[in-house]
Each structure stands twice: as structure tokens, then as C-alpha cells.
Structure 1
Amino acid sequence: MYTDIKKDAQNSMEKKLERLRSKGISCEGIIEQEKTPLVDTFLAGPAGNCDLICMGDESHGGLLGTLLGSNLRDMIAKSPVPVIVVRS
């Protein structure tokens, strides 16, 4: 079941990336599967040349500080470029 969910998420991300690329937007997708030091790794690598970061979040309502994941909160706090949060 976990494998199917992972496969669906990857397929969905790739379709979104293809649509953006077809419009001439250079983009890269990363799906976080487990707790990792994503923010520092991403900001040191792919984010070095980006103008905007768009991240999905599955939390619903409530206060941002208590419901956003730690990687998302860290990215908002540390990113040198704007971060857009999209509810998934």
C-alpha cells in the first residue's frame, strides 16, 4: 500500500512538473518521504539558482506554527527567496 501511495505521489508530481516545463518554467520536484534535513540540503543545492520555492502541506486549518511540518517551517524561516505554501 505504501509503495502505491509513493508511486501515485511521484506520478502526480511529474505531471505537474511537465505542465510547468511546457510553459517554459524551469522547475524541479522533491517529495519528502521521511524526516530528513531537507532544508539545509536543498538550500545548499538546487535552491541556489531558484527565484521561488513552492511547497505543499497537508495540514488543515489552525495555527501555522503547530500544524506546518518542521521542514516547511524551517524552509519559510531560512529561505533567501519567497516560499509559497500550497495545501495539498
Structure 2
Amino acid sequence: MFKYFLFLTLLVVVLANEDDLHAEVKSAYNSIDGNGNYKYGHDISNGVEIKAEGNVNGVHGEYYLLGENGEKIKVTYTADSTGFHPVVGAK
């Protein structure tokens, strides 16, 4: 699971621009239960939102990035033993 989190973190870093250097976390949550199920989410001041939940068998979630015209672009995904499976669409 850590590799999926690392992938998403690197994706956000690669897509960052100069304005994003001063972005701040507006809200964040995370939880994990005794069975290994987890949920987390972040809402960033630059418009990026990340939400995910999963366990050792896989993860599903969504994130929003800003397009060149300022429109939010939604990406939903699943990630499991077969790979990372994103679906891209406008919000």
C-alpha cells in the first residue's frame, strides 16, 4: 500500500507549479483499524484534493487536480495486484 501512496505523492509533486510551492493543507484526516483497513484524505489550498481507502488487498480513491484553464479534473482509481487503474474525467 505504501507504494500506491508514494505514487500519488510523486504525481502531485511532478504536476506542481510555482504557485503550488506556497500551498497549504486546509484539512486532512486519516484512520486505520485493527484489521488494516484505512482511509485518508487531504484538501490543499491550491485546489488539489485526495481521498483514498483500502487495505492489503487494494485501494480505491479519487483525486482532483486543476487543469490549465483552472477547471478541476477528477481522477478516480483502483490499485491492486493487477496495477493502477485510473479513470480521468472533468468534475
| TM-score, with structure 1 as normaliser | 0.31
Bigger RCO (CA 8 Å, 6+ sep): 1
- The structure with more strand, counted as a fraction of residues: 2
- The structure with more helix, counted as a fraction of residues: 1
| TM-score, with structure 2 as normaliser | 0.30
